[in-house]
Structures are given as C-alpha cells and as structure tokens.
Amino acid sequence: MTDKMENEETPRGNASGFAKYFKQDIISGLLVFLIALPLCLGISLACGYPPIAGIFTAIIGSVLTTFISNSELTIKGPAAGLIVIAIGCIEDFGGDGMTGGWTDADLMAYKAALAVGVAAAVIQILFGLFRGGILGEFFPISAVHGMLAAIGVIIIIKQFPVALGVSAGGEPLEMLKEMPHYIMEANPAIAAIGIVSILIMFYWPLAAKRVGILKKIPSPMVVLLVTVPMGFGFDLLHEHSYTLQEHHYQLGEQYLVKMPDRVFGMFDDITSPDFSALAQMKAWKWVMMFFIIGSLESLLSAKAVDLLDPWKRKTNMNRDVVAVGVGNLCASMVGGLPMISEIVRSKANIDNGARTRFADLWHGIFLLACVALIPTILHEIPLAALAGMLVYTGYRLAHPTEFIHVWRIGKEQLAIFVTTLVVVLATDLLIGVAAGIILKMVIHVANGVPIKSLFKPYIEVQKVNDNTSLILARESAVFSNWIPFKRQIEDIGLVQKRNLIVDVSSTKLVDHSVMEKLEEMERVFEQKGLTFEVRGLDAMQPLADNPHAARKGGLATMRRLTVIADEAIEQSLEEQFVALGATGFTSQPCSGAGRRELEGGVTSANSKVRIEIVLSHQTCEAILSYLRSDVLPKHQVTACVETVDVVRRDHFVSVAAEANE
C-alpha cells in the first residue's frame, strides 16, 4: 500500500464517490476492458457458447452487480474456472460448441444450458437471501485448490488442440493420450498463431518485470496486436488451401471469431433459454454444479479481493452472492455465460488504481461500446490466439508451485490436493471435491479426531473480564465444524464488541483450513478495533514446518543430542549451540576414555563434560553440521542423536528458529 493510499480516506461506491474518483475508476475500467475483451471471447468458445455470450455476461455483470453488491473492487464476469462445467453441460445435451461448426444440435444444447443457468441463478439468489454465504467456509482449502488445479489441467488439454488448429473433443484423459496425434495433425499456419500467443502470454510478464513501462500493456492485448496481423498475413478472411511438405491444409474464416457483421448486430444474437430441458433429470446435475462451484469460486474470489483491497473494505458475502445470482439470471435469459467474482481481472483492477465499484461499471460500458460499434474488427481475432491465452490461464491454475506450496503445508494436504485433482480428471468436479473432503475426514479420524466432533465443535465460553471472553475448544477444530465455531466467535466477539481469546490446547487436532481461518479472524478483529488471540498452538505438534500446517495434540516428536567433549571447550560449544537455535542445555561433568585414547595407551579415565540438548530436527541438523565442520577436525568429541517425545514442543524451539522453520 502506498503512503498516498494510507493517508486517503476510504473510498465509497456512492454518488459522491462516483464523481470524486471518476478519473481513477474510468482509467482502471479501460485497462481491465483490454484484458477482459479477449478473455470473454476465449472463455465463451471454450465453454461451447457463441463468442458473444461472454460479452453479454461481462456487460450485464458489470452494470447490475455494481448497484447490488457492496464489493468495491471485484470484477464480475465469465471465468475460466467454469469452463469445465459449461462445456460438460453443452456436451451432455448433445452439442460440441464450435467443433465442426455451429449446428442445430449445438444451438439446442446452448439453449438447454441457458435454462440450466437460469435455474442455478435462482438458487444462488435464494442462497444469498437466506444468508447461505457462510457455506463457502465449509470446503477444505486443499480440496478447493486441487479442484482449481484440475480445472487448469482440463483447460490446457481442451485448448491446446484449438491452438494447433485441430478439431478435438472427448474426456480429458482420453484427449491427453491423443496429444501426440494432435501435434502431428496440426495446421502449421494456425499452430504458428497459437504457439506465438502462448509464448507471449508466458514471456511478456517476465519482460514487464525488467522494463517497467511494459506493465501498462496487458499480455492479452499484446497477443491480439501480434496475432491479428498474422491472421491477415495468412489471409484467414478468405477460404483457401496451401501445401507444405506435400500436405494440404485449409484456411478460412472458421479459424476466426464469429461476431455480428454490422453495428449493433450483437442484439440480433440474444438467445432465450429452452426451459423444457429442465424436465430432464440430467439438467439438475448441471444446475447443482453451476450453483455449487460457481458460488464457491465467487465467494473465494471476493474474499481474496478483500485481502488485496488497500483500504481493507469487507464484502457482505450474502449480498455478493445475491448480486452474482441476479447477474446470472439476467445473463442466462439473453444468452450469456454464468458469471462469478473473477480474481484475475479484479487483481488487475486493484493494480490499475481503481477506487470504487464504478471501475467495474466502466469496464462493462467499454465492452458494450466495442462490441456494438466495431464487431467486424473483433471478427478478425484468430481462435488460436484466444486458445493460447486460455492455455496460459490453465497453467496458472495448475502451476507447479501450487504442488510445492501444498506439500510444504503438509504431506496430508498434498494427498488431499492430488486426490481431488486426479478424481476430477477421471470423473467430474463434484465427485472430485467430495473425494477430497472424504479423504480429509479419514485423515482427521486417523489423527485422533473423534467422529462426534467432525461436524460439531465442543466449546466452552468463559468471561475473563468486562471486555474479554475466552472460548475453550475441545476435541477438534477442523474445516467441517468451523461454521458453527465461527458463528460463536462472531457472536461473542464482533457482535458484542468484546476482545476474544481462543484456547485450542485441549483439542486433538487443529487442521490447516482452520489455521488459516483463525489468522483471517485476527485481521477482522483488528479492523474492528478488537483483539483476537489464539492460545495453545505452541503446545501442539505441527505436521509440517509451516505456520499454517495442521497442529496435532499429544506428545511432540523432537531430537535429543548428547555431546561428550573435553572440559576445555565446554563454554565455546554451549555458546555456539545457543547461537544455532538451542533453547537450553544440560551440562554435567563426567569421566571416561574414547577409542582413540584407548588405542593410544591411555587406561585411566579423563575428565570430560556431557552436554544434552532437546531440539527440533532442523536445529539438530544445523548443530551436527557445525560439529562436523568446525569441531571434529580439531577435538575429540562424541555426539549421538535419538528421537524423544516431549509434552510441549514450544519449550524447545526458539522464536527465531520457529520463524525460520
């Protein structure tokens, strides 16, 4: 946060805010529009909808939700995270999108998907009105990240053939097996556009880091500036063929975005839902998919944007769900995609200096003007360029660092993450997330969590003084009982405006999701001018060397290092051990003779000192490294290590060592 932002009063999205922050919001809206335009088109095509559908959604989302939601900086619109559901719905109703051209079967599937979108939107609205936004707190973080990573992998698998100019379809794992075939069948001209697009998406951010002025130009816009001229060079506006290495390839408008051919022609593409599709049972599977995954993604994005907001304004999650539901209802009624609070464009909105929700409104107005007034220019965008952007988007969702990050939080979290990812790829999103949740519960029970406390928190409330209360948690504090736990925290602390102490020392497990949520609650209390303290975590055993790792009650496993050395170097050893992280030591005089002394003819015992230290694995390794490199070459020292269980781990780990671990 800049000093200017710190000193500036909190901007509000009201009439005075509209005028006061007009310049900042309209500039940010313009820059977000440049990112949103190609992404909306690409996401629509990947979903099996007409390209204009994504534009409808972004325009409706920006105009309606601006006046319903109180989220100041989120951008509402179509998102890559819903591609898998949307194309799955289209294919289940007999369509294949633009693969092989737009047919009557595609149109019928599209109208059925719109009806599904309307039904899901109605449930979303009711969900928000009945304050169901808190259910977003239920899903374990590792399972959600695994789901998003799986979506990223599926997007890559589905869009890479499009970037090569190859028509392909089928289940993700089946398509993955066919990748070598797609590469062999690639149309060289179209593949050149797709590969260039992918390279720009990957390397432009790296170039922008070195040359600051490049940050102002979003990579999707650079892709269009490069690939549209390439499309002209390959004469994609006209049907023709070419020969390369004795292979014949076709080029033409089928490789360009299909857009209205006249000014204001977008309104001719308004399409109504076919509500008769809701009479089929399979439709309701997709209704629930759109509702659950869409609402979850939207809630997570809105929460993430709140953390990024320089003024730390809080979104009313129930109100935001209602806004998204109303937007989805209207978008589906005219032929639009489902929408969510979208994190990538929201982050760009913040980075571009937006102050209020009117930046979202301006981005929609720019989209409306562009598509209504210059649709023929948009028709010149190659489909391979949009596919290349989505390949990069998929890579960001399934980035290798996601695996590393989850592994560092705990091996059990990686197991949940990978299980969710694999099951999603093999089946569908809901089954994959369910598999991740079930595995997490099994791991909890294996770690000693009583089954009775999986869904019910066992807590005791005590009054400390006139301003402070204590919540004593027992049995467990895990993702599945967090919602009622959180309500108690909010009712006692935020509603009654009291400082709060949460003591978890009597629990058998505090899982990773709750660790992060407790940290989040601390920030919420701080914003309200209250204190929120968590006690007892230091007495528990972390399952990994990470601040957000799950904590297990009971004895903690540590290392005991015993060093026997001459009395002459006792003090220097003790000082170095403390410097390397030891929180204490025990020294006692002893006598004896080592192997070298016995081999040298010494038969009497010599005076020595015995030093014992209980320490963490990392500190133990640091001390052993010191002994090997600095002590053993010069002195006769004996060192041995054994594993011990201790009652309280924090007694043997310094604050500095804890931070390093």
DSSP 507-549: EEEE-HHHHHHHHHHHHHHHHTT--EEEESGGGSEESSSSTTS
Specify whether 253 is located in the same domain as 108: yes
Angle at 254 between CA 253 and CA 258, to 5 degrees: 80
Domain count, the chain: 4
Please identify which residue in the block is written with the tokens 């406390």: 453
**Res 659: pLDDT:** 46
The CA-to-CA distance between both ends of the chain, in Å, stands at 28
Specify whether 234 is located in the same domain as 91: yes
Return the beta strands (E) in 49-163 as ranges: 75-77
Three-state secondary-structure class, residue 551: strand
Specify whether 490 is located in the same domain as 592: no
Specify whether 372 is located in the same domain as 386: yes
**Res 256: pLDDT:** 94
Q: Which residues contact 419 (CB under 8 A, 6 or more apart)?
A: 146, 435, 436, 439
Please identify which residue in the block is written with the tokens 């390093």: 660
Is residue 652 within a helix (H) or strand (E), and if so which, with residue range? none
Cα gap 200→327, rounded to integer Å:
33
- CATH (domain of 653): 3.30.70.120
Please identify which residue in the block is written with the tokens 């015993």: 562
The segments of the chain whose pLDDT lies below 70 read 1-8, 98, 100, 603, 654-661
Residues 508, 478 contacting (CB under 8 angstroms)? no
Whether 6 is covered by a domain: the verdict is: no
Specify whether 456 is located in the same domain as 591: no
Whether 4 is covered by a domain: the verdict is: no
From 487, 543, 475, select the one nearest 515 (Cα to Cα): 543
Last residue of a domain, which of 551, 574, 600? Answer: 551
Cα gap 423→618, rounded to integer Å:
35
Amino acid at residue number 303: K
Residues 631, 646 contacting (CB under 8 angstroms)? no
Specify whether 234 is located in the same domain as 303: yes
> What DSSP string describes 597-619?
HHHTT--S-EEEEEEEEEE-HHH
Specify whether 310 is located in the same domain as 431: no
Cα gap 96→280, rounded to integer Å:
19
Q: Are strands 556-566 and 586-592 parallel, antiparallel or unpaired?
A: unpaired
Please identify which residue in the block is written with the tokens 């490069």: 226
Whether 237 is covered by a domain: the verdict is: yes
Whether 165 is covered by a domain: the verdict is: yes
Cα gap 293→88, rounded to integer Å:
13
Whether 120 is covered by a domain: the verdict is: yes
Residues 457, 437 contacting (CB under 8 angstroms)? no
Specify whether 167 is located in the same domain as 223: yes
Specify whether 407 is located in the same domain as 528: no
From 566, 571, 563, select the one nearest 635 (Cα to Cα): 566
- CATH (domain of 542): 3.30.750.24
Give the tokens for residue 22. Answer: 């007009």
From 429, 503, 496, 506, select the one nearest 475 (Cα to Cα): 506
Angle at 43 between CA 37 and CA 49, to 5 degrees: 110
SS (H, E, C) 31-56: HHHHHHHHHHHHHHHHHCCCCHHHHH
Whether 14 is covered by a domain: the verdict is: no
From 34, 114, 44, select the one nearest 75 (Cα to Cα): 34
Residue 449 is given by DSSP the state: -
Range of the domain at 419: 401-445
| φ, ψ for residue 394, nearest 5 deg | -60, -40
| φ, ψ for residue 200, nearest 5 deg | -65, -45
**135 exposed, middle or buried (CB, 10 Å; 0-12, 13-18, 19+)?**
middle
Whether 461 is covered by a domain: the verdict is: yes
Whether 542 is covered by a domain: the verdict is: yes
Please identify which residue in the block is written with the tokens 């000082």: 575
**Considering the entire predicted model, what is its pTM?**
0.83
From 127, 135, 62, 632, select the one nearest 369 (Cα to Cα): 62
**156-170 burial, b if ≥16 CB within 10 A, otherwise e?**
bbbbbbbbbbbebee
Residues 238, 426 contacting (CB under 8 angstroms)? no
What are the tens digits of pLDDT across the range 312-351?
888 999 999 999 999 999 999 999 999 999 988 999 999 9
**Res 2: pLDDT:** 47
Return the beta strands (E) in 173-302 as ranges: 240-244, 247-251
Specify whether 243 is located in the same domain as 205: yes
Last residue of a domain, which of 533, 551, 569? Answer: 551
Specify whether 220 is located in the same domain as 188: yes
**Res 655: pLDDT:** 53
| φ, ψ for residue 11, nearest 5 deg | -70, 145
**Res 593: pLDDT:** 81
Specify whether 384 is located in the same domain as 424: no
Last residue of a domain, which of 520, 551, 582? Answer: 551
